[in-house]
Amino acid sequence: MKRASFKIEWDAHAYEHKIRTEDWFWAVGIIAVSVAVASVIFGNIIFGILILVAAFALSLFINRPPEIIHVVVDERGITKGHIRYPYATLHSFWLEEEHSHPKILLRSQKWFLPLIVVPLGEEVNTEKLEETLLQFLPREFHTVPWVERFLEYLGF
């Protein structure tokens, strides 16, 4: 049985943009310098330099606005930007709408990429999207990974 051709597409921000205050930068700087000094005291100069370079790079790029990515859901799979995720490589999905930045959580069958997060745009009809995804994947409750929740809590 051949399924009808369809395409649901939208544009969304790659991540939720947060404006960091001057205090946030001071806190990151103080922590980075403290860790770098401790590293030098314990004889690991290279690690101290790495921490300072990483903190500097973070401060340069952290306030950049998120890029807009194009998402397509069709009969072959889900495309996020330039990456296609065929349904055959996916195990299940969950629509996370309660979050301030709604998203689709896809559980992959690949062990090195267990959960794929696809942002939802504001104009997406989530009922139609869910109905469409149910044709190919089972709905299974997934939560945002704890690492991502922790980084959001810290302001990243």
Number of domains in the chain: 2
Residue 75 has which token pair?
A: 């009969």
- Claim to verify: residue 81 and residue 109 sit in the same structural domain: yes
pLDDT bracket for residue 156 (50, 70, 90): low
**Would residue 154 be called left, alpha or beta, if left means φ above 0 and alpha means ψ between -120 and 50 degrees?**
alpha
- Claim to verify: residue 57 and residue 102 sit in the same structural domain: no
In a domain, 2, yes or no: no
- Claim to verify: residue 29 and residue 76 sit in the same structural domain: no
In a domain, 30, yes or no: yes
CA distance 87 to 116: 13
CA distance 54 to 32: 9
Residue 39 confidence (pLDDT) above 80: yes
In a domain, 34, yes or no: yes
In a domain, 118, yes or no: yes
Q: What is the mean predicted confidence (pLDDT) over 48-56? A: 95
Residue partners of 18: CB distance under 8 A and separation at least 6: 155
3-class state of residue 11 by DSSP: strand
In a domain, 73, yes or no: yes
User: Quick one: pLDDT at residue 1?
Assistant: 44
Could you tell me if 109 and 92 are in contact, meaning their C-beta atoms sit under 8 angstroms apart? Answer: no
Alpha-carbon torsion angle 24, 26, 32, 35, nearest 10: -110
Mean pLDDT computed over every residue of the chain = 85
User: Quick one: pLDDT at residue 36?
Assistant: 96
- Claim to verify: residue 73 and residue 126 sit in the same structural domain: yes
- Claim to verify: residue 138 and residue 94 sit in the same structural domain: yes
pTM above 0.95, yes or no: no
3-class state of residue 112 by DSSP: coil
CA distance 55 to 28: 7
pLDDT tens, 65-84?
A: 888 899 999 888 899 989 99
Lowest mean pLDDT across 64-68, 93-97, 141-145, 152-156: 152-156
Question: Percent of the chain scored above 70 by pLDDT?
Answer: 94
User: Quick one: pLDDT at residue 154?
Assistant: 66
Could you tell me if 39 and 45 are in contact, meaning their C-beta atoms sit under 8 angstroms apart? Answer: yes
In a domain, 40, yes or no: yes
- Claim to verify: residue 57 and residue 83 sit in the same structural domain: no
Residue 2 confidence (pLDDT) above 60: no
User: Quick one: pLDDT at residue 146?
Assistant: 78
CA distance 55 to 130: 41
In a domain, 32, yes or no: yes
In a domain, 134, yes or no: yes
Instruction: For residue 102, give the nearest of 74, 126, 86, 73 by alpha carbon.
Output: 126
- Claim to verify: residue 56 and residue 29 sit in the same structural domain: yes
Residue 84's domain spans which residues?
A: 7-14+66-154
